[in-house]
Amino acid sequence: MTQLRCCADHPATTSQLNLQPNGTPLCHSAIQEPGETTLNSTTKLLRLVRLSGFLGLLLSAHAALAYIDPPVLIPSAPLENQVVSVSIDGGLCDGFIEWPGYPQVIQTGNSVRLVVYAQYVDFIDFCVFPAHNITVPIGAFQSGTYSVQVDRFYVDDLFGPTTETLATIPFEVSGTESVVALPSSSFVSLLFLGLGLLLVAASTMRRHVLSLFANSRSRNGIMAG
């Protein structure tokens, strides 16, 4: 089969040509070279990979700017009837603000749920919250084992009202304060022990001397009479 040049660039057979009235071959579109489809697909895939990497960098940069430290319990080992609080640090893309109805403290048995109102920013340019702390009292408790679930509530620009659990903290409330004794071999404890013994001995000797002096005066008075 005879091959001709179609549009001066791509070979074509006479059966593939549409001829103009003057007999000149007319090409409606270039004939695709072998391997051209594979090349275009590979290029598109590389572009998609590059775009995904760029979006990943943007998301990682946003995650690095947004921070909320894990909530902590104050005090960490509470006593019976001692007020317990939850402390949270945040900043940059995450902030905590005062809002009507918040914070919420809900206790069911030995489980406590704390909900704080927060603001979350998706755009890096608007991550302007300074580093700050909120400390929220959750109550005083009797002796026992408890847990507190710390949630934040915010309105997301894309998903709307959102509740996110930051942490669940178990804690134990004891009835008596633990006493930490000084080692008996320490220099400070021995010094205080020695001073205490000297004071006790001096007080005892003073009382004994005063008693002897009083008895002596009493005998002298009787003999003089």
- What one-letter code names the amino acid at 139? G
Whether 135 and 103 have beta carbons less than 8 Å apart is answered as no
Q: Which residues of 160-174 are buried (b: 16+ CB within 10 A; e: fewer)?
A: eeeeeebbebebebe
Instruction: Check residue 100 and give its pLDDT.
Output: 95
Instruction: Check residue 223 and give its pLDDT.
Output: 53
For 204-213, write each residue's pLDDT tens digit.
Answer: 776 665 666 5
DSSP 75: S
Flag whether pLDDT at 45 surpasses 80.
Answer: no
DSSP 203: H
For 173-196, write each residue's pLDDT tens digit.
Answer: 998 765 444 454 566 666 767 777
Q: Cis check for the bond before 103: say yes or no (omega within 30 of 0).
A: yes
Instruction: Check residue 156 and give its pLDDT.
Output: 87
Calculate the average pLDDT of the chain: 74
Whether 169 and 147 have beta carbons less than 8 Å apart is answered as yes
Per-residue pLDDT, averaged over 10-39, amounts to: 52
The most confident of the ranges 66-70, 134-138, 187-191 is 134-138
Per-residue pLDDT, averaged over 27-39, amounts to: 50
d(CA 14, CA 5): 10
Alpha helices in the chain (DSSP H): 36-65, 187-224
Instruction: Check residue 144 and give its pLDDT.
Output: 96
Whether 144 and 113 have beta carbons less than 8 Å apart is answered as no
Instruction: Check residue 43 and give its pLDDT.
Output: 64
Flag whether pLDDT at 1 surpasses 60.
Answer: no
Instruction: Check residue 38 and give its pLDDT.
Output: 52
Higher-scoring residue by pLDDT: 44, 104: 104
